[in-house]
Amino acid sequence: MFPEPVLLRAKEEFLDWQGCGLSVLAMSHRGKEFISIAEKSEQDLRQLLAIPANYKVLFLQGGASSQFAMVPLNLLGQKSTANYVCTGAWSDKAIQEAQKFCRVHIAASSRDTGFKHIPNPHDWDICKDAAYLHYTSNETIGGVEFHYVPDVDGMPLISDMSSNILSEPIDINQFGLIYAGAQKNMGPAGIAVVIVREDLLGNTPSTIPTMYDLLAHAKSGSMLNTPATYNWYLMGLVFEWLIDRGGVEALEVSNKRKAEKLYRVIDDSGFYTNPVDPSGRSRMNIPFLLAETSLEKTFLSEATKENLVALEGHRSVGGMRASIYNAMPEEGVDALIGFMIEFERCYG
């Protein structure tokens, strides 16, 4: 979902941004109006996540998927190995891309349970001579989330936070680099955020294509070429909305409450199941199965009649999935719960 107050504000400002006579769509990215939008959004993100001054914040195109390649290209330095933790479809994609540039050492994997848990940190086998360790903090498709930050003993820790960034406070100092596509918790598709400790940049000897060079992006203030200006602006509005709602501390409380009540309904029923180990359950994406697969179509069509949409599981896994990102109000979760209970009463 996109926060409604943000949509209304964007609508209000669409033709004329703050009385300057221009729509954001018509602004030059180098003009003072857009520069002020860009600076404010960075400042707000820094405030939301308490990002220290020695971290660069980049606003890039190419989605989170480009970072699958940009991370090894920029961070391998003199090393030829990188650690990856494999917890599902998205870490798998990051691994496949990294394999084009380095030797990937799988430090931990939950493939043996079909990605239904977070591997126990005591069992990780971290290659000490690797450039970094990469993990996916929330597996959007499988609904598996880390509820702690892995301890990597000083090695740069890289995290794909595409689907849970800004859902709770984090200590940025524990990370070397964080990246996230905007379209889950930050704004529209078409822009991604990279937060990177500045000493990690510029240490790679090989030539990196300019658009894949994080240092070049950092030096140009993410304006190496024309950035996705309107998406950047919308993302800035989302940051303002998040600050108004009390920031990530307040969001964490409401995200926990939303997820807990939905899991409770699933676990208390003999009709719905969530296959993920409770300690690794996602607060953002909650997949569930019905007791009878044949009822899935009916569930979805009945739900649509109640304005409960986008509940179909990812095409690769089937079943149902409730994505309850920051912008999903608690009433939305309550409506889904009410529907699920009623559906079970009728068909269970």
User: Contact between 231 and ligand PMP (CB under 6 A)?
Assistant: no
Q: Is 326 in the site for ligand PMP (CB under 6 A)?
A: no
Catalytic residue positions? 90, 160, 184
Contacts with ligand PMP, 147-176, as mask; x by CB under 6 A: -------------x-xx-------------
> Which of residues 163 and 255 has its CB atom nearest to ligand PMP in the complex?
163
Q: In the stretch 65-94, what mask flags binding to ligand PMP with x, by CB under 6 A?
A: x------------------------x----
Q: For the CB of residue 160, give the shortest distance to ligand PMP in the complex, in Å.
A: 5
Q: What are the C-alpha distances in Å from 98 to residues 91, 102, 130, 214?
A: 10, 6, 13, 16
Residues 90-119 within binding reach of ligand PMP (CB under 6 A):
90
Q: Shortest distance, CB of residue 65 to ligand PMP, whole angstroms?
A: 3
Q: How many residues touch ligand PMP (CB under 6 A)? A: 11
Residue number, nearest CB to ligand PMP:
63
Complex with ligand PMP: residue 64 or 251, whichever CB lies closer: 64
Which residues of the shown chain bind ligand PMP in the complex (CB under 6 A)? 63-65, 90, 136, 140, 160, 162-163, 181, 192
